[in-house]
Amino acid sequence: MSTINSVDQVLAEMRRLAAAAQGAPAEAGNTQGPGQDFAALLKQSIDKVNDTQQTASTLSSAFSAGDPNVDLAQVMVALQKASVSFQAMTEVRNRLVSAYQDIMSMQV
């Protein structure tokens, strides 16, 4: 059942990031400016995707090596999490590029 808890954690994190991206009030103790806050948020998101992919890769390698502590279901869930998080990050990047292009094409 740890998979359900981790999925709930991922969903909660996605909701928190979405709220932060929509301009919801920043968490208490955050003293960064708006530009730095977005950059930090983006870097944090990319780092989490990278961590998820590295974890999936490590589990996959351990399973391939015959580690008895790693089962196939655990590996498949980790690989799917890595895939979904990468697809979400790619979609965010595509939307950011599209928004940038729209802004650059505006008449002043």
pLDDT digits (tens, 9 = 90+) for 47-104: 999 999 999 999 999 999 999 999 999 999 999 999 999 999 999 999 999 999 999 9
Question: Does the residue 69 lie in any domain?
Answer: yes
Question: Does the residue 63 lie in any domain?
Answer: yes
Task: State the residue range of the domain holding 86.
Answer: 33-108
Give just the sign of the alpha carbon dihedral 21, 24, 26, 27. Answer: negative
Question: Does the residue 61 lie in any domain?
Answer: yes
Question: Does the residue 46 lie in any domain?
Answer: yes
The encoded tokens of residue 1 equal 């059942």
Question: Does the residue 105 lie in any domain?
Answer: yes
Question: Does the residue 67 lie in any domain?
Answer: yes
Question: Does the residue 85 lie in any domain?
Answer: yes
Question: Does the residue 57 lie in any domain?
Answer: yes
pLDDT digits (tens, 9 = 90+) for 5-53: 666 777 777 778 777 767 655 454 444 555 568 888 889 999 999 999 9
Q: Which residue has the tokens 């292009």?
A: 101
- The whole-model pTM stands at 0.63
Q: Domain count for the chain, please give it.
A: 1
- Sequence-ordered alpha helix ranges (H) in the chain: 2-21, 34-64, 72-104
